[in-house]
Amino acid sequence: MRMLACCERRPPSGDILVQKLNTRARSAAPDRERLAGSLAMLEAHRRDILLEAIARSAKELLRTSDMTRTIPIVLEHIGHATDVDRVHLLAVDPAGASDEGRIIDHSLWSAPGISTPAIFNDPRGRTFLEIGLKSWLPRLMRGECIAGNAGKFDESVRKFFEIGGVKSTVAVPVFLDDRWWGLIGFDDC
Q: What is the pTM of this model?
A: 0.70
Tell me the average pLDDT across 5-28.
Answer: 50
- Please enumerate in sequence order all residues whose Cβ is within 8 A of that of 51, keeping only pairs 6 or more positions apart, or say none: none
Is the pLDDT assigned to residue 71 strictly greater than 90? no
Q: What is the pLDDT of residues 128-143, one digit of tens each?
A: 999 999 999 999 999 9
Q: How far is CA 43 from CA 48, 55, 66, 80, 149, in A?
A: 9, 18, 34, 16, 22
Which residue blocks in the chain are alpha helix, DSSP H? Answer: 2-7, 14-63, 67-82, 118-121, 128-131, 137-141, 155-163
Please state whether beta strands 146-149 and 179-188 pair in parallel, antiparallel, or not at all (unpaired).
unpaired
User: Which H/E stretch holds residue 182?
Assistant: strand 179-188
Average pLDDT over residues 64-81: 84
Q: Which amino acid is at 76?
A: E
The whole-angstrom separation of Cα 21 and Cα 30 is 15
The DSSP call for residue 80 is: H
Q: How far is CA 44 from CA 32, 51, 65, 75, 85, in A?
A: 18, 10, 34, 22, 22
What is the tens place of the pLDDT at every residue in 27-55? Answer: 555 666 766 666 667 676 666 666 676 77
User: In 10 A of CB 15, how many CB atoms?
Assistant: 8
- Whether the per-residue pLDDT at 188 is higher than 60: the answer is yes
